[in-house]
């Protein structure tokens, strides 16, 4: 976690700025189609209950509604069986000040190693870092998450895992959908979707990773089944069922976590969010190697309006030797990796990289949500008021970090959330983004 200064408005450095207030986005179809093209599943066996299969379009539901006699007990049984699979036996548990339980689990017993292709293995050794990777000073892993306030730490040879509880699983439409983004039909221009975005992106080349510093805020989320997030997407595949993504950033998600803290998260999918992938360590996939960072745990401190600004630096890159995709936090702090066999297209390279914000708009009462994106303020307010991404870079085929070229910006509902980009000698490629949601221009 770094405290940031404003370098986005330095006239002597020849700042170029450009804004995006997109009224017609058919000419930039690939960006949002790729962004979250969620596809509903095919036919599901009729012998399973509605809650078990989650066939009700992944919509929130009242847990006490429409249950047949005995179904509540069956549901609870399935939930507890699932929790037994994902909550591994710890050798130590730490009680966080925010109510989380952080389990210290032996590294080789983490959920990833339940995967048939990883069973019996241990985490890999650190890979070669991309060339041109400059370290900005020591970043302490034990200073940006609330659970470290106690002063306790996980023993060597273990990793911290945020424990999932029954209430968190009971909130979703089905056990099978827990920890996954919803599956829905989404038009490629996303204007008919309940997911809204303000993003910067590059496409048209082969990408082997990306890096950015992301401003951290605590946006208000108006509905317990909505979320607000800021993240990086590393993407490959078509707009169909074969979409591959690797994602990391911070999010506020009351449904997933039961509160409104901004939390560090990861995500992956290899089939457009249908049956593969999950958040954090909620399925077999991401292999964590770090003993001090709990993925899914709350971030502290956060930025404040007209006050201190704090950001986190994230780097995702493909190890040229083994082909796995690694995640680094700060300057040199490895979090872990996504094994290459999880993917189809991303086994080779990415075809698009995106940075930015996303919210869910449930239109309760027929009105646009007041869920905030970023700081909850529009991009034009600038440093200290609007949220930002800075020092945007990509990793090329030679495993070198290089500045972006031809960064495009897009906001699919610019009266609700917008974006404004620029470039200078200190922040490199950057953009401000976000907004309040519902307002006089966004009813």
Write out the catalytic residue numbers: 247, 358
Say how many CA atoms lie within 13 Å of 23 toward its Cβ: 0
**HEC per residue, the chain:** CEECCCCCCCHHHCCEEEEECCCCCHHHHHHHHHHCCCCCCCCCCCCCCHHHHCCCCCCCCCCCCCCCCCHHHHHHHHHHHHHHHHCCCCCEEEECCCCCEEEEEEHHHCHHHHCCCCCCCCCCCCCCCCECCCCCCCCCHHHCEHHHHHCCCCCCCEEEEECCCHHHHHCCCCHHHCCCCCCCCCCCCCCCCCEEEEEEEEEEEEECEEEEEEECCCCCCCCCCCCEEEEEEEEECCCCCCCEEEEEEEEECHHHHCCCCCEEEEEEECCCCCCCCEECCCCCCCEECCCCCCCCCEECCCCCCCCCCEEEEEEEEECCCCCCEEEEECCCEEEEEECHHHCCHHHCCEEEEEEEEEEECCCHHHCCCCCCECCCCCHHHCCCCCEEEEEEEEECCCCEEEECCCCEEEECCCCCCEEEEEEECCCEEEEEEEECCCECCEC
Report angle CA 332, 333, 339 to the nearest 5 degrees: 105
- Distance between CA atoms of 424 and 10, rounded to whole angstroms? 8
Q: Which structure tokens are listed for 210?
A: 């990306």
φ and ψ at residue 440, rounded to 5 degrees = -60, -30
- Distance between CA atoms of 175 and 80, rounded to whole angstroms? 10
Calculate the CA 209 to chain-centre distance. 16
Give yes or no for a contact between 110 and 281, defined as CB atoms under 8 angstroms apart: yes
Region class of 221: left (phi > 0), else alpha (psi between -120 and 50), else beta: beta
- Distance between CA atoms of 408 and 418, rounded to whole angstroms? 13
């Amino acid at each position: 976690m770094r405290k940031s200064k404003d370098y986005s408005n330095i006239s002597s450095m020849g700042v170029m700025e450009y804004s995006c207030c997109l009224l017609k986005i058919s000419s930039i179809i690939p960006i949002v189609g790729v962004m979250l093209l969620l596809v509903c599943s095919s036919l599901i066996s009729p012998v399973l209950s509605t809650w078990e299969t989650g066939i009700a379009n992944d919509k929130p539901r009242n847990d006490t509604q429409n249950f047949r006699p005995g179904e509540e007990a069956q549901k609870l049984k399935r939930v507890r069986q699932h929790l037994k699979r994902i909550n591994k036996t710890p050798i130590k548990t730490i009680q966080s000040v925010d109510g989380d339980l952080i389990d210290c689990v032996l590294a080789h017993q983490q959920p990833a190693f339940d995967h048939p292709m990883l069973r019996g293995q241990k985490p890999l050794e650190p890979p070669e870092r991309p060339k041109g990777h400059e370290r900005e000073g020591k970043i302490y892993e034990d200073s940006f998450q609330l659970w470290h306030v106690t002063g306790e730490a996980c023993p060597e040879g273990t990793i911290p895992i945020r424990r999932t509880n029954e209430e968190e699983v009971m909130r979703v439409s089905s056990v099978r959908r827990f920890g996954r983004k919803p599956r829905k039909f989404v038009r490629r221009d996303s204007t008919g979707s309940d997911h809204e975005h303000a993003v910067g992106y590059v496409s048209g080349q082969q990408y082997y990773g990306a890096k950015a510093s992301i401003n951290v805020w605590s946006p208000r989320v108006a509905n317990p089944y909505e979320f607000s997030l800021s993240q990086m997407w590393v993407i490959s595949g078509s707009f169909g069922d074969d979409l591959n993504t690797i994602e990391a950033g911070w999010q506020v998600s009351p449904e997933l976590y039961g509160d409104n803290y901004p939390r560090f998260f990861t995500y992956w999918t290899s089939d457009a969010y249908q049956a593969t992938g999950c958040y954090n360590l909620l399925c077999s996939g991401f292999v964590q190697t770090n003993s001090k960072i709990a993925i899914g745990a709350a971030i502290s401190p956060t930025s404040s309006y007209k006050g201190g600004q704090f950001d986190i630096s994230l780097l995702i890159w493909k190890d040229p030797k083994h082909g796995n995709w690694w995640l680094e936090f700060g300057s040199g702090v490895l979090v872990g990796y996504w094994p290459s066999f999880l993917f189809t297209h991303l086994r080779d390279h990415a075809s698009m990289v995106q940075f930015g914000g996303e919210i869910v708009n449930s239109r309760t009462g027929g009105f646009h949500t007041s869920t905030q994106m970023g700081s909850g303020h529009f991009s034009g307010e600038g440093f200290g008021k609007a949220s930002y991404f800075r020092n945007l870079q990509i990793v090329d085929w030679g495993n070198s970090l290089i500045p972006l070229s031809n960064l495009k910006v897009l906001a699919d509902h610019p009266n609700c959330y917008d974006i404004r980009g620029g470039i200078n000698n200190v922040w490199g490629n950057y953009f401000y983004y976000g907004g309040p949601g519902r307002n006089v221009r966004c009813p």
